[in-house]
Chains A and B, each alone.
Chain A
Amino acid sequence: MDDGFSYDQALMEAERCLLCHEPPCSKGCPAKTDPGTFIRKFRMRNVTGAIRTIKENNILGGACGVLCPTCRLCEKECSATGIDKPIRIGKIQRFLIEHSWQVGFKTFDNPMSTDPGRQAEKIAIIGAGPAGLSCAAELAKSGYSVTIFEEREEAGGVLRYGVPSFRFSRSFLKNDLRDLEDLGVKIKCSSAIQKKGDVEKLLEQGFNAVFIGVGLWAPISLKKVPEDDSNIFSSVRFLETFRQEKFKELEKVCRGKIVAVIGGGSVAMDCARVALKLGAKDVNLIYRRSYSQMPAEPDEKIEALEEGIHFILLNQPTDYCRDSKGKLKGINLIRTRLAGADSKSGGSAAARGSGRRKPVEIPGSEWVMECDTAIEAIGNKAAADSGDWYPSVSVNSEMLVQADKETGQTNMEGIFAGGDIVRGPGTVVQAVADGKTAAKSIIGWLEKKRLKPAGYVSSRKEKKV
């Protein structure tokens, strides 16, 4: 992972900040991390205060400092753009968090609240990804007893099993998890909540509320591929294997090989770059539109190109090509051209386009691109059976949980949800924001229930979303 700012660099950058009135950058942050305030605090030599602002507003402030697409968020709003270029807010945020480790400053060194009423109330969180962790932190800060149930061996969600280590070092996650521990959050790993009606059972077993933040872990596939095809990977499996440090397994299919990556988003860039780092001879990234329509962030695209990844643009994969033994030997492609924009609105969510120019196949332009290994990075979706984990909760045709985006409330009283499982593929900071919002709603709801307890608990009613 690249080096963050030094103290000098961070200060120099912060010195450029205009210390605006009602800072627009703060409005640009979905999780309300409040850069306007933490940069001002840093400038005013209140360094511990700056760190506190970040951590209290965003338990994953360090991760966001590294991973946020800031040019679309806080930095997009920066007033300094009117003079020169925006303040590099993400970098300052990351610096302050790294600085807190260096000086040993802890934001949460004792339980925040000792209200016995709140301590007696238990909240279950499903999934230790950014949404779940942030929801847990917010509730624990307010004095509630929080338990996170996580399917995998370790907590972190995509931060642990998705984003490759050269972009996001484990130390960030480790420190953030320590903060959660300081707050008294219990994390139960290897504890999937996956059996029919498991979520509702938690409520019956004495949890007062549940937050669902299970993310999207089922790959979208080009063609039905057997799960264990040793040369065709989903991005989930490929990156997860990498993050589990099973390098040998991956080197077998990468070192000296031609690797094809299908997709044009951030995840595709991550897969391509991992393959190259594992010694691939050539990495061809196949995308059906052109460069500017690729959903990956501009700097990721440039870095990938600089590292030596080949972009095969305006090509649509149609099928895999195998040798007589069934082993992968290439991908069938057809060239495309861009037609008019597809429509952004109208129709069902699935049919709705992205407003980008649409790729149209050029008849007769089929060709085969040779490759030894293929990685599909064309998106993740909710597990097909996820609806069964919480049968009382409304989900849509894509199995996304239907929750109010302003409150995280699902149709079931006491059940809240947020992050990718509600919004579809999103960002870390949006998941953090959802976790926070849901925590606030949970607190409000529990508080109200405490004030008028009778009748409320016994009949769990459906609510309109």
Chain B
Amino acid sequence: MSKKVDLSVNYCGVQFLNPFMLSSSPVSNCAEMVARSFETGWAGVSYKTLVTDKIPIFHPSPRMHGYNYGDKRLVGLQNVEQTTDRGLKPNLRDITWLKKKYPKHIVMASIMGFCNQDWADLSKAVSDAGADLIELNFSCPHMTVEGSGAKVGQVHDLVQKFTETARSVTRVPLVAKMTPNISDINEPAMAAKRGGAKGLSAINTVAGLSEVGLDDFVPRPNVFGKGAISGYSGPAVKPVGLRCVAQMAQNKEHGLPISGMGGIETWVDALEYLLVGATTVQVTTGIIHYGYRIVEDMIEGLSDYMASKKITRVKDLVGKALPRLHETGDFDVKRQGIAKYDFDKCVGCGQCYIVCRDAGGSALEWDNGARRPIHDKDKCLSCMVCSFVCPVSGLINFKEMPKTWKRKETLTLG
């Protein structure tokens, strides 16, 4: 058992036992699954996106494709899954059951309308079913139904209008789920705020194309001979997710609390989202990879971290990195450094030499006999590419140079 730390947070006026939620996807498909996730430690769920029963939903088959890098599985996940393929009624019954069985756990109902009236009907229905929060899904990048998903999220007037519609029928706090597939994520965020949203969540999947079959020429997943640009998620999109959350958190104009997601697997990932401004975090691909059990490590890891830093409230971590997030123009470029080598640890592979010569400052020579690089400090660009490929952690580190130090000019031929 980890050290006893209070991980509770308040998001949009709703109290969570901890910041960890399932995001809307197959991991939150029905009450039986969600209940098991609550038992494992998840504090809340964004329930798989509901639609009205007017248009039948069929998932393409197969609906996902795992993207591997070397022997690392699932660094990314490509999916063409649609909204829930279960009926509205059974889902509403499941939501009511969950709230009754787990009054302290939070159920956020994710909804998507295909017309203005749908947004009203769905908002009312999930409010009546007992949802604590409503997430408006303006952000699925691959809906097969016209006028839905990210197509809405990219048209700010519609974001405002549909939020207003939902607002007019319910007092349950509304959360607008944002797409990253847009140049300025704050525009739809502001539109949602104008429409009456109480919070934001991001990111939905990144429009992507992860792999192409070399024999069948079909982009993946191969749905009977056809591929499509569709939703990409998992560790590979974490940098995009962090960026979007930070940009929204930095925007003082709306000041809405954020639920962050995109590539979270560990407490470290989750903490990074908190530090750039998320109050709660959500997970799908991490669960697709490892199952609900990963929340145990998120809870224990975050608790131990907070205990070691003597931080008693999660709130105090939210946005803690933002004061240190600047425009690149603010950097002090007068301060310069180099890569510093600790050759005692060197195994002699020479990868640093290859990349420094071909992609860095060509600051390394190669001693063939000793199988060691020789570093010309004055040529070092501090690009640090050598340290990225070095197989020994901590062998190559960045070191600041005195202000008087001057880097050699790059050699000119001709």
Residues of chain A whose beta carbon lies under 8 Å from any beta carbon of chain B = 6-8, 19, 40-41, 44-46, 48-49, 52, 56
Contacts and interface: CB of A to CB of B under 8 A. Distances in A.
A270 B267 CA distance: 44
Contacts of A49: 2, 296-297, 300-301, 304
B93 interface: no
A196 B80 CA distance: 78
Contacts of B393: 6-8
B268 A45 contact: yes
Contact of A8 (B1, B296, B298, B391): B391
Contacts, number: 44
Interface residues of B, number: 18
Contact of B293 (A7, A40, A52, A56): A40
Chain A CB count within 10 A is highest, among B265, B267, B290, B301, for: B301
B336 to A, nearest CB: 29
Interface in B285-332: 290, 293-294, 296-298, 300-301, 304
Nearest to B301: A46
A40 B297 contact: yes
Contact of A48 (B265, B293, B296, B304): B304
A56 B1 CA distance: 9
A48 B304 CA distance: 7
15 contacts: A8-B392, A40-B297, A41-B300, A44-B290, A44-B297, A44-B301, A45-B267, A45-B268, A45-B297, A46-B298, A46-B304, A48-B300, A48-B301, A49-B296, A49-B300
A52 B391 CA distance: 29
| Closest CB pairs A-B (n = 10) | A44-B297, A46-B297, A49-B300, A46-B301, A48-B304, A45-B266, A44-B266, A45-B268, A8-B393, A46-B300
Nearest to A49: B300
Interface string B235-260: 00000000000000000000000000
Contacts of B293: 40
Given A7-B393, A8-B391, A52-B2, 4 more contacts: A8-B392, A40-B293, A44-B301, A46-B298
Interface of B: 1-2, 265-268, 290, 293-294, 296-298, 300-301, 304, 391-393
Contact of A19 (B267, B290, B300): B290
Contact of A44 (B1, B294, B391, B392): B294
A48 B302 CA distance: 10
A23 to B, nearest CB: 11
Contacts of A46: 266-267, 297-298, 300-301, 304
Nearest to B305: A48
Contacts of B298: 44, 46
A113 to B, nearest CB: 12
A41 B304 CA distance: 13
Nearest to A44: B297
Chain B CB count within 10 A is highest, among A6, A44, A45, for: A44
A68 B285 CA distance: 37
B301 A45 contact: yes
Nearest to A8: B393
Contacts of A52: 1-2, 300
Contacts of B294: 44
B302 to A, nearest CB: 9
Nearest to A56: B1
Contacts of B266: 44-46
Contacts of A45: 266-268, 297, 301
Contacts of B2: 48-49, 52
Nearest to A52: B2
Contacts of B265: 44
A204 B364 CA distance: 77
A431 to B, nearest CB: 25
Contacts of B268: 45
Contacts of A41: 297, 300
